[in-house]
Structure 1
Amino acid sequence: MTQSVAAETGTAPAAPRPEGKAHSYRRLGKLDVFDYYLSAPVVLAAILLPLSGLTGRGIGTLTLLLLGQVLVIMAMVALDDVTGYRDGSDLANYGPDHPLRNVLRKPLVAGTLTEREALRFAWICAVAGAAVWALTVAVAPHRPLWAVVLLALLYVVSLQYSYGLKISYHGFQEAFLVALGLVLVLAPYGLLTGQYTGFLLVQGLLFGFGPLMFGVYSNTNDVEGDRAVGRPTVAALVSPRGNAVFVGALSAAEYLISVTASVTGLAPWWFALVMLPAGCLRLRQYVTGFRAGNVMVARRTGFRVHRLSVVLLIVTNLLVGAGAS
């Protein structure tokens, strides 16, 4: 399919510079995009104080959870690359007509890995991730059924995100990204404490908005490639103006979650004030992407917003643990 797209456009990706297999596998697993893994410090901050509640067993459980998370997400993104290579969308989005996208980030399109190598890497990560998470549940201080079910569902759905059932090809991409972040906060907290709180639910939603909000800017940039292969992101389904309204609504909704949590008592009254810097930076992201027209610059700003939000959530959890109310 990739070859047919190249034939129709009359172009092919520029020849990448040689790079080692290890580096290519790192790119395939997107290890430089560590933002999904920042849920671990958020959860750690939520249980850290008082220190008497933190045990060696809890630290071991959180470490195993994080290791399994890395393996499962590497499997997910590698399978996503395989599908994007097969249907030609990655060639369309990372080819010579898109010089702002580094083709080496897609090893299959760049030719630094074969499809067979990518699939082998993905399934090794998937099997190892399942084993690590099974061990995690076995050694966890608590095993509430809801947390175990969430973790199992996250595992199954992640592998079907753009491979197998191809969930993201049936209109659920944006919802999945939020749910991914939510589960990465709630399930570990449940295994460590045996419970969940409304405030942790709020934090999980806010954490999930991070992947969502750099995802929708990627979709805005990749709209033509996604339309060509029938991947129904919101950006591909609506007009440019409709997509701008959608992203703007999401940007506002994210901060309104903080405000609502403070007003209703789910969070401390000062929580919305703590999260205000992230809300302001999110506004700047929107202006950059949809007013100035620099979508890829705005996407990079999205990573900064997410990382700032994580820092603010950690600070909030430590203050709450120290007795602030």
Structure 2
Amino acid sequence: MTGHAVGPGTADHVRPESKLRSYARLGKLDVYDYYPSIAIALSAVLLPVSRFEPATAWMLALFLLGEVCVVMAMVALDDVTGFRDGSDAVNYGPDNPLRNKLRKPLVAGTLTPGEALGFAWSAAAVGALLWGAAVAVAPHRPVWTVVLVAVLFVFSLQYSYGLKISYHGFQELFLVALGAALVVAPYGLATGELSGFVLLQGVLFGLGPLMFGVYSNTNDVEGDRRVGRLTVACLVSPKGNAVFIGALSVTEFLLGVAVSVTGVAPWWFAALMLPVTVLRARQYLIGFRQGDIMRARRLGFTVHRVSLLLLIAANLLLGRGAAA
């Protein structure tokens, strides 16, 4: 069925597409930037290969599949809430031609709220089973890691639904914490340990989605304010929001310097991450000097992926040194 259900913010003329395509859009399968968290965890435990256990490979595979399901459930529930409160209708409406309405199947009318909720809860159930299986086959199951996985599952579903964490002033913190937990949890299941350097990598990884999220929030401030979604962009002046995003960009760089100086990371780590700093400065200039917020948001995806590759490289360099 590809009809055009009429609801808040839907249009009478939306190009139809298959249900499968609409469900893929609902689950945001094309926005995969949390999923490579597993690559960071893998790179941190891969070398020396002679010590890499088959059980670790199974655990990482199951954790990744569960992560995909849980994140799909999270973003689908976010769409349900955004449709119900009307914020998506504003942010993807005719006054915002740069946003593709088909990316929001409920606004476009290609899925119904009931279909979206069914998809979300089904994905959550499968994700819970897969994460349970990952814990069961893991080489190590320290209590803190098992608790972290459980907390990660519960709170992921509360992002914009239930407790609505993102609506009550905690969106920015949540995005970083989610990324960090998705790195630390599988690493803990693989090693039974909590590494300061891996925790730092998790935070830097989480800053990636945050740093394209805050540009989205800058663009979506009108719709978010209308429904009481308390992002920083809604709570402060445009100048204050620009200062906040600039401070986040600087903090990302200073974290790398701090861990290099204190010995938590290798001395060369801050230098390795300099390309991210350069790209982050460019992102800020595009957004707040040239005034092209959506172009700056798109660049954020590139910055995040460059950061990911450099974090993996850092782990492999360390692992190679340990194996030598």
Q: Normalising by the residue count of structure 1, what TM-score does the alignment of the two structures yield?
A: 0.96
Within-5 A mapping of 1:32-111:
32-111=30-109
Residue by residue over 1:68-115, the C-alpha shift from the partner in whole angstroms, topping out at 9 and shown as x without a partner, is 000000000000000000000000000111010000000000001000
Q: What's 1:141 paired with? A: 139
Counterpart of 1:159 (choices 157, 160, 165) is 157
What is the rounded CA distance, in whole Å, between the counterparts of 1:172 and 1:309 in structure 2? 24
Aligned to 1:264: 262
Contact 2:140 2:188 in 1 (8 A): yes
In the aligned structure 1, how far is the partner of 2:253 from the partner of 2:286? Answer: 18
Contact 2:8 2:107 in 1 (8 A): no
Over aligned residues, Cα RMSD in angstroms? 1.5
| CA–CA distance in structure 2, aligned partners of residues 48 and 4 of structure 1 | 50
Question: Distance in 2 between the 1:13 and 1:199 partners?
Answer: 49
The 8 Å contact of residues 39 and 312 in structure 2, kept in 1 or not, is answered as yes
Aligned-partner Cα distance in 1 for 2:219–2:14: 22
- Whole-Å Cα distance in 2 between the matches of residues 147 and 306 of structure 1? 26
Question: 1:56 offset after TM fit, Å?
Answer: 1.4
CA contact (8 A) 2:253 2:277 kept: yes
How big is the shift at 1:54?
1.2
Contact 1:13 1:103 in 2 (8 A): no
Q: Distance in 1 between matches of 2:178 and 2:300?
A: 17
Which 5+ residue runs of structure 2 have no aligned equivalent? 1-5
State how far apart, in whole Å, the 2-side matches of 1:182 and 1:289 are.
26
Q: Secondary structure at the match of 1:32?
A: coil
- Runs of 4+ residues over 3 Å off in structure 1: 3-6
The letter of the residue matching 1:85 is: F
Corresponding residue of 2:3? none
Give the 5 Å matches for 1:1-325.
13=11, 15-323=13-321
Equivalents in 1 of 2:298, 2:142: separation in Å?
37
Tell me the SS of whatever aligns to 2:267: coil
Question: Identity percentage over the alignment?
Answer: 67
Q: Supply the distance in 2 between the matched residues of 1:122 and 1:67 (Cα, whole angstroms).
A: 15
Alpha-carbon distance in structure 2 between the residues aligned to 1:233 and 1:92: 16
Cα distance change of structure 1 residues 228 and 5 upon mapping to structure 2, 3 Å threshold: farther
Cα offset for 1:146? 1.0
Per the TM alignment, residue 296 of structure 1 is displaced from its structure 2 partner at its CA by 0.4
CA deviation after TM superposition for structure 1 residue 218, in Å = 0.4
Taking the aligned partners of 2:245 and 2:49, their CA distance within structure 1 comes to 41
**What do residues 253-308 of structure 1 show as CA deviations (whole Å, max 9, x unaligned)?**
01111010100000000000000001110110000001100000000000000000
Using the alignment, how far apart are the partners of 1:179 and 1:23 within structure 2?
A: 30
